Structure 1
Amino acid sequence: MTGDLSIYEICVRMLLAVIFSGFIGFDREFKNRPAGIRTHILVCIGAAIIAMIQKEITHTALEIARNNPDFAGVIRADEARLIAQVVSGIGFLGAGTIVVTKQVVRGLTTAASLWTVAGLGLAIGMGNYRIAIVGFIGIMLVLTVLKRVINVPSLKRIEISFMHKTTTKEFIAGYFKEKDIEVKDVDFEVKKQGDNRVYTNIYTVELPRSLSYQTVVEDLSMHENMVRVQLISV
């Protein structure tokens, strides 16, 4: 029983789900993120299918109640029941894209994009095209444009382990001054490895807009006295 959804309407909704989620998935796959085109398309199609099933269940329940008034008080149709399961269930899939290493968390944006793609699928499946279109535009703007327009300065910590304290500290201080890097705080540690002393400084820094943390780590690691240079989260 197809209810109030024709085959044409079902195909249109499925096609929109594939197109919208495909664009979002392409952005994630292009940036080498854990979930790519196929994952996003499948999530959106699945959500759209569930939303359409919910519409069919609701339509069927209303038809039965209309044709059998005696059962009207018994038959119930809650349009939010299956949708609520999608909203909560997609969290498990999103969690699988989050990678937690020793000091870095990656994949949060991809997990969020999967969750919003599920929302797109629900909107398309329920036939709320205006919400789906505006939502799609908003998601694409956030993923592709927002970071270029709004640059939020953030504090990071750079852990630098080195030998030959005096000359290396002068090099680090000179590099920070040359690159206009603002040092907010410094933690110190000294360890002895054999006959050598290894000094570890953890700098809390703020970079100018034109400089990336990757560049800083690479530049500092080129110095001959460096033992280890790495970026850690605040």
Structure 2
Amino acid sequence: MSFIEHIINEQSITTETIAFRMLLSLLVGAVVGFEREYHKQPAGLRTHILISMGATLIMLLSIYIPQTFSQYKPADPARLAAQVVSGIGFLGAGAIMKFGFNVKGLTTAASIWVIAAIGLAVGAGMYWATAIATLILLFALIFLDIIEKWIFPAKFIKYLRIYSSAGYDLQTDPISDLLKKHKVNIRTVDIEQTFDDKRTSLYFVIQINENVKINTLSKEIGQIEGVQRVKLQQII
């Protein structure tokens, strides 16, 4: 126990403190990364581990350089570590992806930024700050996600295509009324008409609640006069 206490309280950068802080950084990155991997996010287990350990190593290096080469002054331990804050933005941007009208990965990008900060804290030996920040991060990713979905039901952007029977000029009003009845938000509507077989095609971009029964909605649209075929798909 005294050995562990010695490593925890040690201020100078030694082989023991380097090993301890790097292993702790690996553990923290693995815990957060596992949560992101479980939700099938682009930046998952390995990414968070590498970011956390990389930030820790840079922080250790920032402290080690002025500690070991004190003859070279001025030495600022925060200068090298500060580059992590700006540099990690490139990885965060890579985690953000756009699917049609949907933007995915903002939470993961934020977790990447925070895990880098936690890695710096580990490297600086701020163990209480590391523990508190990790717990808050996990609380935000896990429990706040549950609360958010309960208060604000998730919505998805989908592409609704409706084709009319030959010779029938399909109108948007009955379909719009039905969508509003199911509390479906209409983003855009496009109409396409072919003059050879006199068919009308309607293209809706809709924002739909996850609680809406897709099969029921498609069936009711199909029962509208003049509707021949209904196709509802996720925008990617």
User: Aligned residues: percent identity?
Assistant: 32
Deviation at 1:130, TM superposition (A): 1.4
Deviation at 1:81, TM superposition (A): 0.8
Between the aligned partners of 1:158 and 1:34, the Cα distance in structure 2 is 22
TM-score (norm 2): 0.74
Aligned positions of 1:30-179 closer than 5 A: 30-62=38-70, 64=71, 75-150=73-148, 151-152=151-152, 158-164=158-164, 165=170, 173-174=177-178, 177=181, 179=182
Between the aligned partners of 1:216 and 1:106, the Cα distance in structure 2 is 24
Amino acid at match of 2:80: L
Contact residue 121 and residue 127 of structure 2 kept, 8 A: yes
Q: Deviations over 1:85-133 (max 9, x none)?
A: 1111111122222222333222222222111111111000011111111
Contact residue 220 and residue 229 of structure 1 kept, 8 A: no
Residue 193 (structure 2) pairs with residue 192 (structure 1): yes
92 and 130 in structure 1: CA distance in 2 versus 1, 3 angstrom threshold: same
6 and 186 in structure 1: CA distance in 2 versus 1, 3 angstrom threshold: closer
Once superposed, which parts of structure 1, at least 4 consecutive aligned residues long, lie more than 6 Å away?
A: none
Contact residue 172 and residue 220 of structure 1 kept, 8 A: no
Number of matched pairs: 211
Between the aligned partners of 1:186 and 1:56, the Cα distance in structure 2 is 56
Partner of 2:8: none
TM-score (norm 1): 0.75
Between the aligned partners of 1:34 and 1:204, the Cα distance in structure 2 is 24
Deviation at 1:24, TM superposition (A): 0.7
Residue 232 (structure 2) pairs with residue 229 (structure 1): yes
Q: 2:24 aligns with which of 16, 26, 47?
A: 16
Question: Could you list the runs of 5+ residues in structure 2 that have no partner in the other structure?
Answer: 1-10, 165-169, 223-227
Contact residue 99 and residue 235 of structure 2 kept, 8 A: no
5 and 153 in structure 1: CA distance in 2 versus 1, 3 angstrom threshold: same
Between the aligned partners of 1:20 and 1:53, the Cα distance in structure 2 is 19
Deviation at 1:228, TM superposition (A): 3.5
Deviation at 1:176, TM superposition (A): 5.2
Between the aligned partners of 2:87 and 2:52, the Cα distance in structure 1 is 13
